[in-house]
Chains A and B, each alone.
Chain A
């Protein structure tokens, strides 16, 4: 069976959405920051254990501190959101809960994965401590630089979307 699912990466600018996207699609990483304007879209076809051939259509959107500031058309038709924040910048996650509420209100049945990126630049225990302080519930802590948990994140989404 062939399926196609749209996954939209959202979150503040500079958090590493494009880096996660490139790490997953091309297994590449660049230290240089290049801001994303608008949206770039790529497809990755994966074969799942349950026999499904899944086309993941990844939408890497430009960053905004608040989702409502961004272009709503990019969110349309999403099957899953990945909300990415930067573990080295408190400003990118201290107000995360209103953003997640915005998604659950406007896209009530669409799953959201909350991902803290740049784990390679912080001490994990300190990062978790800070996230607890800010009342942030996360699903994954990743590093696009080292590739840590990037594949796992997308695989988990793929399985969830086909079950």
Chain B
């Protein structure tokens, strides 16, 4: 009977009785045959070291310990997954080992699949978090570096404008043209990088306003007639007379799209022509669809490169100058405007870029923003410039003095500015944001909140800064700054902004 039980019922169970020293005093032969009577349990498997830590029973009820799902592997490579029950008696330890290897292995398949899928999703979530952090760091870096570079570029361009108006000989004029061209190129590269970081960050916003599309196209045509002449290229312009003039949209970005495409074509065309065609392909009561084609007789693009031509930092010829961002930005801007872009090209024959955009018709507004505002030349204005950089102080002073209508006081800190406005009446404050000590935002806030004298409290403030972050205008407005001008700027834009503020105060 004992033999029958051993074979039938206990083939998956091993019973072991131990002396208090861990010597096997009795066992059956179901499995692990090397665990024989007279051998030490501590030599059987390291699991049994646990016996040394199990307390002797203080009462008869708490002398049983169960260890489920223990892997018991042997030197002969046999391996079982067992539940182990241990009963600690006064002079003896009884162990029951239940072999559930098959059941546990089946269970493990399920847990393996479940764990793998959870691990994968957690890894992806973490990778995604890191990528977002990396992207944010990159965008912040670009915005900061752009700020650091905009300030000196702004000064260079401003002084060049002033220098151009002095008496120069022919050679000096030519040298200035070169410096101007190169600084504009530098400005364009950084402006492209900043645009791209804003687009990638999702903070890029189109600025819609009424504009004259035909004027815009004619202005482009006039600039590029001059630029193409320098490379002895023929510039052909074909503008559909059916195009509606008065439109509503982001004219700066439409200009940028055409501009970048023309620059790209000129870059890769050594002889022949550049052709700009603008057609109205659909007209509705509230909008028109236009097709802009820029065609060249340049080097063309390999067929296999056509799909990557709109990716960032891609240049289809290694001799190409520039940042490699121009076409990428065109594609992003076109998409932001709900339009499309295509390219066809044949090697050594040329390329044709086609952009289709839907542009709304002119909207009714109370003010014509495109109208130029004149300074009252009969009047004199007192302006306080709060700027700590000497070159920028000098540039702003020169730009203002050229107008002949300004008295100017210059201070380097917000604290000096407060003293000045308390002692003298000003018509306008030109304020830098980054100042030593109190910054421009806090100075503006102090002026708006601390003073009851309306001449101080309502002093028009224009912030001039290279700190061109996506929400800078909102931050300026929330601190009481009336207008913001990003560096680098042109003399014309600078004076326009000032004139607008001064005229508003005069009303």
Which A residues are within 8 Å of any B CB, using their own CB? Answer: 4, 6, 13-14, 33-35, 37-43, 55, 57, 62-63, 71, 73-74, 76-77, 88-92, 126
Contact = CB atoms under 8 A, between A and B. Distances in A.
A74 B47 CA distance: 10
A73 B65 contact: yes
Interface of B: 45-47, 49-50, 52-54, 65-71, 73, 81, 104, 107-108, 111-112, 115-116, 118-119, 122-123, 125-127, 129-130
Given A41-B47, A57-B46, A35 B111 contact: yes
B26 to A, nearest CB: 24
Given A6-B50, A43-B46, A77-B53, A13 B70 contact: no
A111 B112 CA distance: 30
A13 B119 contact: yes
Closest 3 CB pairs of A and B: A38-B69, A77-B53, A43-B46
B115 A37 contact: no
A89 B119 contact: yes
Contacts of A73: 65-68
B122 A4 contact: no
A103 to B, nearest CB: 17
B101 to A, nearest CB: 11
A54 B391 CA distance: 74
Contacts, number: 87
A88 B126 contact: yes
Contacts of B50: 6, 57, 76-77
Contact of A41 (B46, B52, B116, B127): B46
Nearest to B69: A38
Contact of A40 (B71, B116, B127): B71
A76 B46 CA distance: 15
A62 B110 CA distance: 14
A38 B130 contact: no
Contact of A37 (B73, B104, B122): B104
B395 to A, nearest CB: 41
B122 A90 contact: yes
Contacts of B45: 41
Contacts of B127: 88
Given A6-B49, A73-B65, A77-B50, 12 more contacts: A4-B49, A6-B53, A33-B116, A35-B115, A39-B69, A41-B46, A41-B47, A41-B70, A57-B46, A89-B119, A89-B122, A89-B123
Nearest to B45: A41
A151 B104 CA distance: 32
Contacts of A42: 46
A95 to B, nearest CB: 13
A37 B115 CA distance: 11
Nearest to A34: B112
B119 A77 contact: no
Q: Which of A33, A62, A63, A73 counts the most chain B CB atoms within 10 A?
A: A73
Given A63-B115, A88-B126, A89-B122, A37 B53 contact: no
Contact of A35 (B70, B71, B112): B112
A31 to B, nearest CB: 13
A41 B127 CA distance: 33
A63 B70 CA distance: 14
B129 A90 contact: yes
Q: Which of B112, B118, B119, B126 counts the most chain A CB atoms within 10 A?
A: B119
A36 to B, nearest CB: 9
Nearest to B129: A90
Contacts of A77: 50, 53-54
Nearest to A4: B49
A35 B69 CA distance: 13
12 contacts: A6-B53, A14-B116, A37-B108, A38-B104, A39-B67, A39-B71, A57-B50, A71-B68, A73-B68, A76-B50, A90-B125, A92-B122
Nearest to B130: A126
B62 to A, nearest CB: 13
B158 to A, nearest CB: 41
B115 A14 contact: yes
Given A43-B49, A92-B122, A37 B68 contact: no
A6 to B, nearest CB: 7
Contacts of B68: 38, 71, 73
Contact of B67 (A6, A33, A34, A74): A74
A90 B104 contact: no
A88 B104 CA distance: 29
A121 to B, nearest CB: 9
A88 B120 CA distance: 11
Contact of A76 (B65, B112, B119, B125): B65
A109 to B, nearest CB: 14
A37 B106 CA distance: 11
Nearest to A13: B115
A37 B123 contact: no
Nearest to A55: B49
Nearest to B46: A43
A37 B69 contact: yes
Given A41-B45, A77-B53, A91 B125 contact: yes
A108 B405 CA distance: 81
A87 to B, nearest CB: 9
B81 to A, nearest CB: 6
Contacts of B49: 4, 6, 43, 55, 57
Given A35-B108, A38-B81, A14 B119 contact: yes
Contacts of B65: 73, 76
Contacts of A91: 122, 125-126
Contacts of A41: 45-47, 70-71
